[in-house]
Amino acid sequence: MPMPILAPAAALVLWSMVMLCWVAATRLPALAKLKIPPERTVGGRGSDLDGVLPREIQWKAHNYNHLMEQPTLFYAVVIILALLGHGAGMNLWLAWAYLALRIAHSLWQAIINTIPVRVSLFTLSSIVLLILSINALRAALAV
């Protein structure tokens, strides 16, 4: 049985991997330039590099971390809708809209990172996710 609503979720997973590659492609060369002794990197985390690496490089990593947060709720909602047979029509359009807003958010944060636009994109995507969540709950209660 086709479940088209899973496509935007799969695309968001792929986008997350694109962001991970972008983090590595920018962070690793920047770290190499710093010539940090290996003993200083034991037990470190990516957030420890804030203030060490240029902020424009860290923005990509911050966004990758954001893709591991709220989108996990999106994946759950999409799976619920797919399993209940409510993954078409408006829910499908909302899922694609969520994906588009998250990609726009990623690009904005990784390249420009002005807060008002970033917050607007996050808020819009959160509203879309809220509507999808309500639709998932309504579908689950109707079964």
Model pLDDT for residues 59-74, shown as the tens digit of each residue: 999 999 999 999 999 9
Domain ranges of the chain: 6-142
Residue 6 CA, chain-centre distance (Å), reads 16
From the list 109, 108, 98, the residue with the least C-alpha distance to 11 is 98
Segment 33-41 shows an average pLDDT of: 77
The pTM of the full predicted model, rounded to 2 decimals, is 0.94
Q: For 6-142, CATH number? A: 1.20.120.550
Taken in order 44, 45, 47, 49, the sign of the CA dihedral is positive
85-118 per-position pLDDT tens digit:
999 999 999 999 999 999 999 999 999 999 999 9
CB proximity list for 56: less than 8 A, separation 6 or greater: 113
